């Protein structure tokens, strides 16, 4: 996973950040809540305990709650003044289906489930901001606090939209934030334009004719056809796509055969395609199908080709991205707000940005030095079994949310 470059010392940047005093004071409670979430991870559309906790906290602070969008989604509503302006803040809640290697006290209590992407921290930061916004109320308009399920492959953002998110809660802009390992604590990264790629999967089933491996002329071997396809697919990126257009095509699975002396009937290829634009995706999809079909025809076999479009590219709108940058600079200074280097990872906040103008930014999670005794031997990177969210940045992320609301919904 490609990270923005680190230009300054993270500890120094975080120490010099202009944080809200109330959020600094509540940091221990925020950290305790975050670790509780980490210890009780829940997968896509199963975030029942997490959603209950979120709803209970919001209700305790006098914030009205709407539940049920996207099955387990929670939306908190804070309305101040008379303005009809509204802004949405989104945090994802789900965990990953993987076994945690950390052994510290707040490690996952559920085998095969882990908060390895920091959604526990995202939820805690937005909750902390919600409490402060409800108490301070220094804005004019409505804030919608969107706690989203099923980001990790479930498309929970799209499901919430289909269930009426933006119809029930109309807003002029929507914002998301993700922690970013390798980017120093105390730094942000934001840019207009594409920041995350589209996520798409493909399957090619090559249908030949099985036979004895010692008598290959009696059959139609699908494996050499698959080998030709795998190599030919890469020429789409190097000879059909413009060199300046980004794209990744990876064949990650090859399934064929059951015995060393048998030519199989079929060979299946699976993999992923990532792009920053739908136009490039259209080109790759078209050429992949042509390569698959005509390569198969040349070898006298048949094939089934399917490309499934899962998440579109995450593309920031220029206006909201500039607003976010300005707010960040007021908190951590210009030098600690970096250009957001696009990553070929995917994010279902893309669906929200297709529906409403907005911005998705990165907040530095550091290099892993924050992890307590008992962490796994692996690096502190996203989707790694040794990952843990950096609790030191909780007040920073929450401060950003509060300042963003105050900027977007300024009092007249």
What would the pLDDT profile of 339-389 be if each residue is shown by its tens digit?
A: 999 999 999 999 999 999 999 999 999 999 999 899 999 999 999 999 999
Q: Angle at CA 335, nearest 5°, toward 177 and 380? A: 50
Q: How confident is the model at residue 248 (pLDDT cuts 50, 70, 90)?
A: very high
Last residue of a domain, one of 311, 335, 358: 311
Task: State how many domains the chain has.
Answer: 2
Q: Please check whether residue 3 lies inside any domain of the structure.
A: no
Contact yes or no for 348/157 (Cβ under 8 A)? yes
Name 209's bridge partners: 220
Would you place residue 400 in the very low, low, confident or very high pLDDT band (cuts 50, 70, 90)? Answer: very high
The DSSP secondary structure of 197-241, one letter per residue, reads --EEEEEEEEE-B-EETT-GGGSB-HHHHHHHHHHHHHHIIIIIS
Q: What is the pLDDT of residue 8?
A: 42
**Contact present, 233 and 288 (Cβ < 8 Å):** yes
Whether 333 maps to a domain, the answer reads yes
Q: At 314, which helix (H) or strand (E)? A: strand 314-316
Asked whether residue 1 is domain-assigned, the answer is no
d(CA 35, CA 409): 32
Q: Is the pLDDT of residue 141 over 70?
A: yes
Residues 318, 268 share a domain: no
pLDDT band at 7 (very low <50, low <70, confident <90, very high): very low
Distance between CA atoms of residues 290 and 93, nearest Å: 40
Structure tokens at 375: 């962490």
Residues 270 and 129 in one domain: no
Provide the pLDDT confidence category of residue 6 given band limits of 50, 70 and 90.
very low
For position 272, which CATH number holds? 3.30.70.360
Among 280, 311, 342, identify where a domain stops. Answer: 311
Per the CB < 8 A criterion, the answer to whether 86 and 169 are in contact is yes
Judge if 206 and 134 occupy the same domain. Answer: no
Domain-terminating residue out of 283, 311, 339: 311
Report whether 356 contacts 166 (CB < 8 A): yes
What is the pLDDT at residue 44? 98
Q: Is residue 145 part of a domain?
A: yes
* 225 and 168 belong to one structural domain: no
164 and 259 housed in the same domain:
no
Low-confidence winner among 7-11, 31-35, 260-264 (lowest mean pLDDT): 7-11
Each residue's pLDDT tens digit, 313-352: 999 999 999 999 999 999 999 999 999 999 999 999 999 9
| Domain shared by 148 and 27, yes or no | yes
286 falls within a domain: yes
* Whether residue 198 has pLDDT greater than 70: yes
Domain that holds residue 80: 10-194+313-408
Query: Is the Cβ–Cβ distance between 49 and 42 less than 8 Å?
Result: yes
Does any domain span residue 5?
Answer: no
Can you tell me the distance from the alpha carbon of 291 to that of 264, in angstroms, rounded to the nearest whole number? 22
Residues 130 and 278 in one domain: no
Specify whether 70 is located in the same domain as 96.
yes
Task: Assess whether 291 and 150 both reside in one domain.
Answer: no
Residue-by-residue DSSP string for 331-392: HH-GGGEE----BS---THHHHHHHS-EEEEEEE--SSTTPPTT--SS-S-TT-TT----GG
- Considering the domain architecture, whether residues 212 and 160 belong to the same structural domain is answered as no
| DSSP code per residue over 49-107 | HHHHHHHHHHHHTT--EEE-TTTT-EEEEEEESS---EEEEEEE---BSS-----STTS
Whether 204 and 190 map to the same domain: the answer is: no
Per-residue CA distances from 144 to 73, 80, 98, 130, 134 (Å) = 12, 12, 31, 10, 12
The predicted pLDDT at position 11 comes to 61
pLDDT of residue 1 exceeding 80? no
Look at residue 289 and tell me if it is in a domain.
Answer: yes
CATH number at 381 reads 3.40.630.10
- Residue 171 domain-assigned (yes or no): yes
pLDDT exceeds 90 at position 412: no
79 and 187 inside one domain? yes
């Amino acid at each position: 996973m490609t990270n923005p470059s680190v230009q300054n010392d993270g500890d120094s940047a975080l120490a010099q950040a202009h944080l809200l005093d109330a959020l600094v004071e509540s940091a221990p409670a925020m950290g305790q809540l975050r670790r509780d979430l980490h210890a009780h991870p829940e997968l896509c559309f199963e975030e029942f305990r997490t959603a209950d906790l979120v709803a209970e906290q919001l209700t305790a602070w006098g914030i009205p709650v709407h539940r049920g969008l996207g099955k387990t989604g929670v939306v908190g509503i804070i309305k101040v003044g008379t303005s009809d302006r509204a802004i949405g803040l989104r945090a994802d809640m789900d965990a990953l289906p993987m076994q945690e290697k950390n052994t510290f006290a707040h490690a996952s209590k559920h085998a095969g489930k882990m908060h390895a992407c920091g959604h526990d921290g995202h939820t805690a930061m937005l909750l902390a901001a919600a409490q402060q916004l409800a108490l301070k109320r220094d804005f004019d308009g409505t804030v919608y606090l969107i706690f989203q399920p099923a980001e990790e492959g479930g498309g929970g953002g799209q499901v919430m939209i289909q269930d009426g998110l933006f119809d029930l809660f109309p807003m002029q802009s929507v914002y998301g934030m993700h922690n970013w390992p390798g980017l120093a604590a105390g730094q942000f990264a934001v840019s207009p334009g594409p920041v995350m790629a589209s996520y798409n999967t493909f399957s090619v089933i090559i249908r030949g004719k099985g036979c004895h491996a010692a008598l290959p002329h009696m059959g139609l071997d699908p494996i050499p056809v698959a080998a030709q396809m795998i190599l030919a697919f890469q020429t789409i990126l190097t000879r059909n796509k413009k060199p300046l257009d980004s794209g990744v095509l990876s064949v990650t699975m090859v399934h064929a055969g059951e015995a060393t002396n048998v030519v199989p009937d079929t060979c299946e290829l699976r993999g992923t395609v990532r792009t920053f634009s739908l136009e490039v995706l259209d080109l790759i999809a078209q050429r992949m199908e042509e390569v698959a079909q005509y390569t198969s025809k040349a070898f006298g076999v048949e094939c089934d080709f399917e490309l499934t479009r899962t998440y579109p590219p995450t593309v920031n709108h220029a206006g909201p991205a500039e607003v976010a940058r300005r707010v960040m600079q007021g908190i951590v200074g210009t030098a600690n707000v970096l250009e957001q280097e696009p990553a070929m990872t995917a994010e279902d906040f893309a669906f929200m940005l297709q529906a409403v103008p907005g911005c998705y930014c990165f907040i530095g999670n550091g290099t892993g030095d924050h992890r307590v005794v008992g962490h796994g031997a692996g690096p502190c990177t996203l989707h790694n079994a040794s990952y843990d969210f950096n609790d030191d940045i909780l007040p920073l992320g929450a401060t950003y949310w509060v300042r963003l609301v105050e900027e977007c919904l300024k009092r007249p």
